[in-house]
Amino acid sequence: MLIGRGPEIEMLIWLVRTDPVRGGVLLLSGDPGIGKTALLRAAESAAVAGRRRVLSIVGVEAEAMFPFAGLHQLLRPVLNASARLSETQRDALLGAFGLATQSRPDPFLIALAALELITVIADEEPVVILADDVQWLDPESHETLTFIARRITPDLPIVIIAAARIGHTGPLIDADFPNLVVKSVDDDAAEQILRAHAPHLTDTERRRVHREALGNPLALRELPAVVRRSPGQRSPSLTDRLERAFAGRIVELPPPTRDAVLIATIDPVGKLTEILAATSVLRGAAVSADVLEPAESAGLLCVTEGRAEFRHPLIRSGILQSESMIRRQAAHGALAEVLTSQPYRQTWHQAQSIIGPDDAVADRLEANATIALARGAVMAAINDLERSAQLSSSSGSRGHRLLLAAEHAFDLGRADIVTDLLAAATRTELSEHDTARLEWLREIFNDGVPGDAVRVFELCDVALRSAAGHDADLALNLLLGASLRCWWADTGPAARTRVITVTRGLTACEDDPRYLAILAVAEPVLCARTVIDSLGKFDPAGIADGDALRLLTMAAHAVGDEPTAADFLAGAEEILRHQGRLGLLSQVLSMAVMVNLTLGNLDRASAAAEEGIRLAVETGQPIWRTGTTACESVHQA
């Protein structure tokens, strides 16, 4: 029974037990130990009593580097229902978990599949999703959970209750969902908790615990032991005092148990067989399953169904802070030795066991990035490449890997990450080819500076060198960036002519949609006839590449051929929506507003503007959000 939490529990019961069920999202935020997890457990009990299907997810700080680990934890009990999804969505979702072969599914397609799976379950019985410590979720799972939460409507029988620590950020935490701030219990409730858990304190000790606990329920339970052990000491913060309270118990454990607990701390999976095997490696001698019993008796963790789980996240962080870096690295190395059948996790732990450089591990981390990309885990790939760069002994290799990471960050629309990675790459010795890629990456988030013809000439020069180096793909990307500068700003006729001249030199690329888009965007008047004639060679119905259709739409729209643009637009929107490529879809919808306005399709223009703005915000593309908003303003006028 929770003491002093009557109003909070009433709200949670109302949320999960309303009949008929109304979909909704609620964020519980508060300090560590304030009782968020206990409230989630109360919500779970109420949901089960109300015959709701409960799906749970708990963020673990050490697990944040493993892609879709949290989402797999959430959906594992219902994955058998994935057979009811479309083949595209099923393959994307199972591929994200490494359970099916899938060629780099778009992260938003995975999110759509997860939403559809939960909706299928909710059609049979209402679903309550309980998410604890969302600040520690891996980025992919955090984004997916936010994606799902944004699409919950009152008539959808899905409720999400998420808990997060105050002071952290993240997609779900920063979204504008209802937020219940869990505060300290009042003095009467604090006294009840203290008498229930520490009845033998003296009056002086009781007053000190009251003073230091500040109404925090976990502190009221754990600080009495600290007060008795060290009556004259006080740590600077409440969280620090709690972590030290848990860490103090570690010192009292037998050495084998302490080693096993350390392994459990850095192993987010918590599988008992792994923990025991790695502990044996760390100690150089075999240990048995009873090695963790002293830790269970000390209230640090519990072992159930072959897994070790800590009673509270602060226990994990307290243990990590109490151990030296050498001990932590040795534990990572021990885990790496036993994870021979899981190369992805093995490599990650190897990377944590060294300071570097180590080119062999760096190469394996780059291979990890390829695996992550194949599963649609772009942020995990970026993290792997960053760590790989840190462990690379060659300056050129470091720069190359940082640029690879920046390209993937661009795919996510993360201008902030791209900027940081490029800044780091400029401090390395780049090859001529990587220098060209650096120039392109610097350009892709730039929407033009009025009259900046100098930059257009620079991009054209780099494109020429790239083409001479047999990288026409990079050359086209650079020229597309240059043409967009000509579109967004007045760069003058000389700069536009330079873009067209260099582009026409790439005669082998005339059938590439980027080629036509560059001509149309850089010189929409002078190149109109060439572009319109060339567009006639493309059959929208025969093109399965949504991005190619997007570029052809851009070319037709730029030269004012709106009927042709509409033909390509319809195919681009359908394919990108089906593939879950919402970042590109937001750009297509922005063009759809002006195309439909010109053709007099006002309802379509309005619908495209509404969805386009929402997707541009969700996918982190402020330029396209602004463009779509401007188009919508024209409509409203």
Task: Classify residue 394 by its DSSP letter.
Answer: S
* Residue among 309, 316, 327 nearest 269 (CA): 309
Contact indicator for 612, 603 with CB cutoff of 8 Å:
no
Chunk the chain into consecutive blocks of 10 residues (it has 637) and report each block's average pLDDT, rounded to whole numbers: 87 87 92 90 93 92 80 94 92 87 78 94 94 91 93 92 91 91 91 86 84 84 72 61 73 91 89 94 93 90 87 80 90 95 92 91 94 86 94 95 90 80 94 88 65 86 89 91 86 94 92 95 94 92 89 93 92 81 80 86 84 74 59 58
Confidence at residue 90, expressed as pLDDT on a 0 to 100 scale: 92
Contact indicator for 517, 483 with CB cutoff of 8 Å:
yes
Confidence at residue 576, expressed as pLDDT on a 0 to 100 scale: 82
Cα–Cα separations (whole angstroms), residue 298 to 193, 250, 251, 288, 314: 20, 9, 11, 18, 15
* Residue among 491, 619, 616 nearest 631 (CA): 616
* CA gap 617, 620 in Å, rounded: 5
Helices 359-374, 343-352: inter-axial angle, 10-degree rounding: 140
Assigned token pair, 632: 């919508």
Assigned token pair, 178: 């209802």
Assigned token pair, 433: 């080819």
* CA gap 489, 244 in Å, rounded: 59
* CA gap 82, 256 in Å, rounded: 43
Considering only CA atoms, give the Rg of the chain.
28
Contact indicator for 71, 55 with CB cutoff of 8 Å:
no
Task: Classify residue 561 by its DSSP letter.
Answer: -
Contact indicator for 522, 487 with CB cutoff of 8 Å:
yes
Task: Classify residue 271 by its DSSP letter.
Answer: B
Confidence at residue 627, expressed as pLDDT on a 0 to 100 scale: 55
* CA gap 326, 297 in Å, rounded: 27
Assigned token pair, 156: 């959808």
Instruction: Identify the CATH class of 6-181.
Output: alpha beta
Which amino acid is located at 418 in the chain?
A: V
- Contacts of residues 308-314 at CB distance under 8 Å and 24 or more positions apart, as own/partner, are 308/264, 308/270, 308/272, 308/275, 309/270, 310/264, 310/265, 312/33, 312/37, 312/218, 312/246, 313/32, 313/60, 313/61, 313/133, 313/136, 314/32, 314/33, 314/218, 314/239, 314/242, 314/243, 314/246
Contact indicator for 436, 462 with CB cutoff of 8 Å:
yes
What's the whole-model pTM score? 0.75
* Residue among 629, 581, 618, 574 nearest 149 (CA): 618
Collapse the DSSP code of 219 into the 3-class scheme (helix H, G, I; strand E, B; otherwise coil) and give the result.
helix
Instruction: Spell out the domain ranges in the chain.
Output: 6-181, 187-234, 250-352, 359-417
Confidence at residue 237, expressed as pLDDT on a 0 to 100 scale: 64
As beta bridge partners, residue 53 has 127
Confidence at residue 102, expressed as pLDDT on a 0 to 100 scale: 64
